[in-house]
Chain A
Amino acid sequence: EDQVTQSPEALRLQEGESSSLNCSYTVSGLRGLFWYRQDPGKGPEFLFTLYSAGEEKEKERLKATLTKKESFLHITAPKPEDSATYLCAVQLSGGSYIPTFGRGTSLIVHP
Chain B
Amino acid sequence: EPEVTQTPSHQVTQMGQEVILRCVPISNHLYFYWYRQILGQKVEFLVSFYNNEISEKSEIFDDQFSVERPDGSNFTLKIRSTKLEDSAMYFCASSEEGFNYGYTFGSGTRLTVV
A binds B: no
Q: Which residues of A contact B (CB under 8 A)?
A: none
Q: Which residues of B contact A (CB under 8 A)?
A: none
